[in-house]
C-alpha cells in the first residue's frame, strides 16, 4: 500500500526523539511537512536538520514545554503564521511515572495531567478551526496499552493514560461530522530513549540487547518493537486509507495487552 500525505502538515509533540521522531520521519517520508515540539533545543535542532536533509520536506521545530500553556500558545502562533494550521496532530508528550498508592501525592497526579491531558486538549482546540475549515483532520493520541490493563503500582501514568482513552472516544464522536478522525495508539515495549534509561537503571551490567530480550519474555512475539513499526501504524491512521477508522485505540505491543 502506497501512503501519500502530500499537501498535509503534521505537528508532533515530543517529536525530537523516540516514537515522536519516528512518526515525524514517517510522515515526512510520505510527503507531509512536519512541525516538531520538544523541550530540549539541542536534540530538537538535530532532529529538524536531519529530517529536512533526508526527506526534502519543510521541517520546523519549536522549543516548547507543553505543560506550560503560554509556550504552547506562542508555538502555535508561529505554526499558524507559516502553515495556516495543521492537518495531523499527534499528542505524544509524557513519560511513565509510577508509584505505589501510599507514595502518591496530589502534585504527582497534577503534574501528570498537566503534561499528558491538558496540553492535548489545548492543542486540539487550537487545531480545530483549520481542520473544520477543510472538513478533514487526523488527531492521534499516543497512550499505553497498560492503560487498558494496569498493573499494581502503575499510577499516576496508567490513570492519566486511561483518561486519554476516554478523551479519544469522546472526541471521535464529537468531531466525526466535521470529517475529523480521532484515534489512539497504545504502546507496549518499543525501543526508544526511555528504554535506554530503563536499562541503565535496572541492569547496567547486562548488554542492552540481552536486557531487551529478557524484558520481552512475556510478549507473545518475544521481542521489543521497533519505533518504525509504531510509526507505520500512525502513518496509516493519518492517511486517507484510514478514512473509516475513528474512535479506536490500537495496541502496538506484540500482543502483550490482554485487552483489545
Give me the phi and psi of 88, to 5 degrees please: -130, 125
Q: Which of 22-26, 31-35, 37-41, 146-150 is predicted least confidently? A: 146-150
Q: How far apart are CA 232 and CA 230, in angstroms?
A: 5
Task: List pLDDT tens digits, range 181-219.
Answer: 999 999 999 998 888 888 998 899 999 999 999 999 999
Rounded mean pLDDT, 220-240: 97
Distance CA 158, CA 176 (A): 27
Q: Which pLDDT score is estimated for 43?
A: 97
Which phi and psi angles does 135 have, rounded to 5°? 55, 40
- Cα 90 to the chain's mean position, in Å? 5
CA separation for the pair 28, 34 (Å, rounded): 6
Terminal Cα distance for the chain, rounded: 25
For each of the domains in the chain, give its residue range(s) and CATH number, in order of start.
Answer: 9-190+226-252 (3.40.50.720), 194-224 (no CATH)
The band of 232, judged by pLDDT with boundaries at 50, 70 and 90, is very high
Pairing state between β 59-63 and 33-38: parallel
* pLDDT, tens digit (0-9, with 9 covering 90-100), for 45-57: 999 999 999 999 9
Q: What percent of the chain has pLDDT over 70?
A: 100
| Phi, psi dihedrals of residue 37, rounded to the nearest 5° | -110, 135
Q: Does the pLDDT value for residue 95 go beyond 90? A: no
Evaluate if pTM is beyond 0.75.
yes
Q: Mean pLDDT throughout 157-163?
A: 91
Please check the confidence at residue 134 and state whether its pLDDT lies above 90.
yes
The β-bridge relationship of strands 155-156 and 98-99 is: antiparallel
What average pLDDT does the chain have?
95
For residue 157, what pLDDT is reported?
87
Taking residues 32-38, what's their average pLDDT? 98
pLDDT at 108: 83
Amino acid at each position: 500500500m502506497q501512503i501519500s500525505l502530500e499537501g498535509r502538515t503534521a505537528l508532533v509533540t515530543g517529536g525530537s526523539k523516540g516514537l515522536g521522531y519516528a512518526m515525524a520521519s514517517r510522515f515526512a517520508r510520505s510527503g507531509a511537512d512536519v512541525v516538531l515540539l520538544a523541550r530540549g533545543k539541542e536534540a530538537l535542532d538535530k532532529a529538524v536538520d536531519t529530517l529536512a536533509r533526508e526527506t526534502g520536506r519543510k521541517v520546523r521545530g519549536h522549543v516548547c514545554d507543553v505543560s506550560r500553556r503560554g509556550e504552547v500558545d506562542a508555538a502555535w502562533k508561529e505554526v499558524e503564521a507559516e502553515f495556516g494550521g495543521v492537518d495531523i496532530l499527534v499528542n505524544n508528550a509524557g513519560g511513565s511515572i509510577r508509584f505505589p498508592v501510599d507514595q502518591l501525592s496530589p502534585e504527582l497526579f497534577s503534574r501528570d495531567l498537566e503534561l499528558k491531558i491538558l496540553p492535548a486538549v489545548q492543542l486540539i482546540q487550537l487545531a480545530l478551526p483549520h481542520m473544520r475549515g477543510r472538513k478533514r483532520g487526523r488527531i492521534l493520541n499516543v497512550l499505553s496499552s497498560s492503560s487498558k490493563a494496569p498493573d499494581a503500582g502503575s499510577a499516576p501514568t496508567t490513570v492519566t493514560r486511561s483518561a486519554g482513552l476516554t478523551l479519544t472516544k469522546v472526541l471521535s464522536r464529537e468531531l466525526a461530522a466535521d470529517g475529523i478522525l480521532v484515534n489512539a495508539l497504545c504502546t507496549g515495549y518499543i525501543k526508544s530513549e526511555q528504554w535506554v534509561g530503563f536499562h541503565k537503571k535496572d541492569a547496567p551490567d547486562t548488554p542492552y540487547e540481552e536486557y531487551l530480550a529478557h524484558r520481552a519474555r512475556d510478549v507473545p512475539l518475544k521481542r521489543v518493537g521497533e519505533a518504525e513499526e509504531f510509526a507505520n501504524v500512525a502513518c496509516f491512521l493519518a492517511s486517507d486509507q484510514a478514512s473509516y477508522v475513528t474512535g479506536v485505540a490500537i495496541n502496538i505491543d506484540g500482543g502483550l495487552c490482554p485487552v483489545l
